[in-house]
Structure formats: structure tokens, C-alpha cells
Amino acid sequence: MSNVKKIQLALMALVALGTTFMSANERAIRRCSDGICTNSRAAYAHDIVTATDKTGVFIGIETGFSIGRYYNTGGSHLDDSLGEFVGAKGGYNFFFNRYIGIRAYGNYSYGPIASIKLSRYLPVPTMHEMYFNVDALLDIYSANDLSFGGFAGLGAGYMSGQNVSGFNAVANVGISALINISNKFEIFARIPILRNDYLSGSIDPTHFVAPTIIGSYRPIHIGVSYSYVF
């Protein structure tokens, strides 16, 4: 079994563990209906997910596919590559009501951990990416310990790796489901707004020769994530 499959199986096992954790160790939630507040689930007939339930610190993991888009120095699209990535994230959700919220978080991703499709022109760069993000959250359904919705936002940070490095900004978009108050699943896309220079190689310290810019690169991430909301 490849290292890629081992990592993805480990992530799936962590997600399964998280979804069952609430049954034995569910946190106390303050719920209010018609002016009456209670910490007991049994005392609340319809068990509606509230803004308080969704607000809190979260940590999560993510995995998916990285589509590398290559451009020549004139800005014309040359080719695409396809690889797999893994990552982690953490931050804070704040909901103004049951449906509308905002979150701030940082994320780190590494990829490709395996290349599925190589570029015909340039080597696939190994990338470390770190971003700070702010997303707007909108849940269109929220009841019975279940909530569905979507999100969109922007992030800024740094990517570093073989042949490509520098500042970048990203657009985040996706759909989400919150199950049993604390288990959040997302399908997302993280799309770079800028293109980073693709270099021919590293700096030669002996002859002080800087690498040549031979094009630009944009790694688009499409994946799934699991987060636990505390």
C-alpha cells in the first residue's frame, strides 16, 4: 500500500472517530426557546441547533487534489498537472444567529504527496502553503442537530517549495454540513488569485547566479475536510 493511501486511510479513521466521540462525551449546550433556557437535551423538544452551538474554536484536517496550472512568461496557459495534498487548519467560528456567521482561521497544506498527471513542460513543484483566511458562513438549513450551508472568503499567505515561492492570495468557496453540533464536513475549493513565478532552479552560491524566471504557476486545491468544533 502506498504512503498516499495510508495517509488518506488514517484521515478517514480520524473522521470516523470524531463522529462517534459525541455519543459518549457530548459537551453541555445552553439552549433557549420561548424565553426558557436549559442545558438538558431531553427538556428541549425540537433540539434546534443554535448560534451558540456553532460558535467556538475548531481544528481540522483536509485532503484532496491539487491542480497545478502552468503559464509561460507571456501569461498564456501551457499545461496542467494533477497531484494529491494533505493539510490541517484551525481557527474560530462566530455565528450572529442560526444562519449567518463568520470565521477566521489558518491553514497549512503540503503537496503533491503523489503526482497523478505530470506536466509535459515543467517538473511538478513540491509545495508548502500557509494562509490566514476569513470566510463568510451561510447555513440554509439548521435544525435537529443538523446544519447545511456554504461559505466563501479570502485568504493571504505564503507558498514555499521547489521552483516556486512567494506571497499569494486565495479565494475560498465550498459547502458544509454540521452533524451532532461539533462534527463539520466540507467540500471546498481554494483558488489562488495571483500567479507565482516559476524558476528554472535554485541560486548558485558559487557564481552568484540567480535562477531564471521561465513562467508562472497556480496550484488550485479541491478537497474535503473534517473539523471538530469545541
Q: Identify residue 92 by its one-letter amino acid code.
A: Y
Task: Render pLDDT for 191-219 as a digit per residue (tens, 0 to 9).
Answer: 999 999 888 765 555 655 567 888 899 99
Confidence of residue 89 (pLDDT cuts 50, 70, 90): very high
Instruction: Provide, rounded to the nearest whole percent, the portion of the chain with pLDDT above 70.
Output: 75
Pick the CATH number of 47-229 from 2.40.160.20, 3.30.428.10, 3.40.190.80, 3.40.50.720: 2.40.160.20
Neighbours of 102 (CB within 10 A): 15
Cα 120 to Cα 25, 69, 79, 123, 171, distances in angstroms: 52, 12, 7, 8, 27
Model confidence band, residue 41 (pLDDT cutoffs 50, 70, 90)? very low
Closest Cα to residue 213, out of 117, 66, 70?
A: 70
Q: Please state, in angstroms and rounded to a whole number, the distance separating the CA atoms of residues 86 and 221.
A: 10
Model confidence at 170, pLDDT cuts 50, 70, 90, reads very high
pLDDT at 21 over 60: no
- The region of weakest confidence among 40-44, 46-50, 102-106 is 40-44
The model's pTM is 0.75
Q: What is the pLDDT of residue 137?
A: 97
